[in-house]
Amino acid sequence: MSSPSIVRADFEITLHRTGVVELLDMYASEPLQGGQPLDRETRSRLIPGLAAQANGRYFLAMDSDQPVGVAICFIGFSTFRALPLLNVHDLAVRRDFRGLGVGTQLLSAAEQEAIQLGCCKLTLEVQHENVNARRLYERIGFDSGGPAGADSSFMTKSLC
Protein backbone atom coordinates (compact mmCIF):
# COMPACT_ATOMS: atom_id res chain seq x y z
CA MET A 1 0.00 0.00 0.00
CA SER A 2 1.55 3.29 -1.09
CA SER A 3 1.28 6.53 0.82
CA PRO A 4 -1.88 8.42 -0.17
CA SER A 5 -1.57 11.84 -1.76
CA ILE A 6 -3.38 14.83 -0.29
CA VAL A 7 -5.44 17.00 -2.63
CA ARG A 8 -7.73 19.94 -2.20
CA ALA A 9 -11.28 18.64 -2.62
CA ASP A 10 -12.85 19.93 -5.81
CA PHE A 11 -16.65 19.64 -5.69
CA GLU A 12 -16.80 19.80 -9.49
CA ILE A 13 -15.29 16.29 -9.46
CA THR A 14 -17.83 13.53 -8.81
CA LEU A 15 -15.26 11.30 -7.08
CA HIS A 16 -14.46 14.11 -4.62
CA ARG A 17 -18.13 14.82 -3.89
CA THR A 18 -18.99 11.17 -3.28
CA GLY A 19 -15.77 10.60 -1.35
CA VAL A 20 -16.49 13.42 1.10
CA VAL A 21 -20.06 12.23 1.66
CA GLU A 22 -19.05 8.56 2.10
CA LEU A 23 -16.17 9.35 4.46
CA LEU A 24 -18.32 11.62 6.62
CA ASP A 25 -21.10 9.02 6.61
CA MET A 26 -18.59 6.40 7.81
CA TYR A 27 -17.36 8.82 10.48
CA ALA A 28 -20.89 9.64 11.70
CA SER A 29 -21.68 5.91 11.91
CA GLU A 30 -18.92 5.23 14.44
CA PRO A 31 -19.98 4.77 18.06
CA LEU A 32 -17.98 7.77 19.34
CA GLN A 33 -19.75 10.02 16.84
CA GLY A 34 -23.26 8.82 17.65
CA GLY A 35 -23.37 5.57 15.68
CA GLN A 36 -25.89 6.86 13.14
CA PRO A 37 -25.23 7.24 9.42
CA LEU A 38 -26.12 10.52 7.76
CA ASP A 39 -29.77 10.65 6.77
CA ARG A 40 -30.76 11.09 3.13
CA GLU A 41 -31.59 14.78 3.49
CA THR A 42 -28.27 15.57 5.18
CA ARG A 43 -26.37 13.64 2.49
CA SER A 44 -28.12 15.65 -0.22
CA ARG A 45 -27.44 19.01 1.48
CA LEU A 46 -23.83 18.29 2.47
CA ILE A 47 -21.86 19.14 -0.67
CA PRO A 48 -23.94 22.18 -1.68
CA GLY A 49 -23.66 23.42 1.91
CA LEU A 50 -19.90 22.94 2.04
CA ALA A 51 -19.44 24.50 -1.40
CA ALA A 52 -21.32 27.60 -0.22
CA GLN A 53 -18.89 28.18 2.66
CA ALA A 54 -16.39 30.85 1.56
CA ASN A 55 -14.38 30.05 4.70
CA GLY A 56 -14.17 26.30 4.01
CA ARG A 57 -11.00 24.40 3.19
CA TYR A 58 -11.41 20.72 2.33
CA PHE A 59 -8.71 18.10 1.87
CA LEU A 60 -8.89 14.51 0.64
CA ALA A 61 -6.36 11.74 1.06
CA MET A 62 -6.36 9.76 -2.18
CA ASP A 63 -5.01 6.25 -2.62
CA SER A 64 -4.85 5.98 -6.41
CA ASP A 65 -8.41 6.96 -7.31
CA GLN A 66 -9.98 6.15 -3.93
CA PRO A 67 -10.69 8.78 -1.25
CA VAL A 68 -9.43 7.29 2.03
CA GLY A 69 -9.46 10.32 4.33
CA VAL A 70 -10.93 13.78 4.64
CA ALA A 71 -10.25 16.96 6.60
CA ILE A 72 -13.05 19.53 6.73
CA CYS A 73 -11.69 22.89 7.92
CA PHE A 74 -13.13 26.37 8.40
CA ILE A 75 -11.36 29.69 8.75
CA GLY A 76 -12.30 31.49 11.94
CA PHE A 77 -10.94 34.46 13.84
CA SER A 78 -9.04 34.69 17.11
CA THR A 79 -10.30 37.72 19.01
CA PHE A 80 -7.41 37.49 21.49
CA ARG A 81 -4.81 37.60 18.69
CA ALA A 82 -6.85 39.58 16.12
CA LEU A 83 -5.75 37.07 13.48
CA PRO A 84 -7.41 34.29 11.51
CA LEU A 85 -7.33 30.69 12.74
CA LEU A 86 -8.12 27.42 11.01
CA ASN A 87 -10.46 24.97 12.74
CA VAL A 88 -10.26 21.30 11.79
CA HIS A 89 -13.97 20.56 12.10
CA ASP A 90 -13.89 16.93 10.91
CA LEU A 91 -11.03 14.52 10.34
CA ALA A 92 -11.93 11.04 9.14
CA VAL A 93 -9.81 8.20 7.80
CA ARG A 94 -11.12 4.94 6.41
CA ARG A 95 -10.62 2.16 8.96
CA ASP A 96 -8.28 0.13 6.76
CA PHE A 97 -5.99 3.17 6.36
CA ARG A 98 -5.77 4.12 10.04
CA GLY A 99 -2.37 3.92 11.67
CA LEU A 100 -0.62 4.54 8.34
CA GLY A 101 -0.04 8.29 8.70
CA VAL A 102 -3.05 9.47 6.68
CA GLY A 103 -4.39 11.61 9.53
CA THR A 104 -0.95 13.15 9.98
CA GLN A 105 -0.79 13.96 6.26
CA LEU A 106 -4.24 15.58 6.33
CA LEU A 107 -3.36 17.65 9.39
CA SER A 108 -0.09 18.69 7.76
CA ALA A 109 -2.04 19.93 4.71
CA ALA A 110 -4.36 21.88 7.02
CA GLU A 111 -1.36 23.37 8.84
CA GLN A 112 0.28 24.43 5.58
CA GLU A 113 -2.99 26.07 4.50
CA ALA A 114 -3.19 27.87 7.85
CA ILE A 115 0.36 29.16 7.47
CA GLN A 116 -0.39 30.41 3.95
CA LEU A 117 -3.49 32.19 5.26
CA GLY A 118 -1.52 33.88 8.05
CA CYS A 119 -3.42 32.02 10.77
CA CYS A 120 -2.20 32.24 14.37
CA LYS A 121 -3.30 28.70 15.24
CA LEU A 122 -5.07 25.49 14.32
CA THR A 123 -7.97 24.38 16.50
CA LEU A 124 -9.99 21.20 16.75
CA GLU A 125 -12.18 19.30 19.13
CA VAL A 126 -11.80 15.69 20.16
CA GLN A 127 -13.86 13.57 22.49
CA HIS A 128 -12.00 12.53 25.61
CA GLU A 129 -12.78 8.86 24.91
CA ASN A 130 -11.17 9.03 21.45
CA VAL A 131 -7.74 8.05 22.74
CA ASN A 132 -6.20 7.27 19.33
CA ALA A 133 -7.17 10.66 17.91
CA ARG A 134 -5.96 12.47 21.03
CA ARG A 135 -2.60 10.69 20.78
CA LEU A 136 -2.27 11.73 17.14
CA TYR A 137 -3.09 15.36 17.91
CA GLU A 138 -0.74 15.50 20.89
CA ARG A 139 2.05 13.83 18.90
CA ILE A 140 1.93 16.58 16.28
CA GLY A 141 1.77 19.43 18.78
CA PHE A 142 -1.85 20.03 19.83
CA ASP A 143 -2.66 20.40 23.52
CA SER A 144 -5.83 20.95 25.49
CA GLY A 145 -4.55 23.68 27.74
CA GLY A 146 -6.01 27.15 27.64
CA PRO A 147 -3.89 30.29 28.03
CA ALA A 148 -3.82 29.87 31.83
CA GLY A 149 -3.00 26.16 31.56
CA ALA A 150 -6.54 24.97 32.28
CA ASP A 151 -8.04 22.16 30.23
CA SER A 152 -10.58 23.23 27.65
CA SER A 153 -13.84 21.51 26.78
CA PHE A 154 -15.98 21.93 23.71
CA MET A 155 -19.67 22.20 24.50
CA THR A 156 -22.69 22.26 22.22
CA LYS A 157 -26.34 23.18 22.41
CA SER A 158 -28.36 21.54 19.66
CA LEU A 159 -30.80 23.83 17.87
CA CYS A 160 -32.30 21.31 15.43
pLDDT value of residue 36: 95
pLDDT(153) > 70 = no
SS3 of residue 127 by DSSP: coil
The mean pLDDT of the chain is 92
The confidence band for 32, taking pLDDT boundaries of 50, 70 and 90, is: confident
Average pLDDT over residues 139-153: 74
> 41-61 pLDDT, tens per residue?
999 999 999 999 999 999 999
Tally DSSP H helices, then E strands, for the chain. Answer: 4, 5
Res 129: pLDDT: 86
CB 60 within 8 A of CB 54: no
Pairing status of strand 66-78 against strand 56-63: antiparallel
Q: Tell me what the mean pLDDT of segment 97-121 comes to.
A: 96
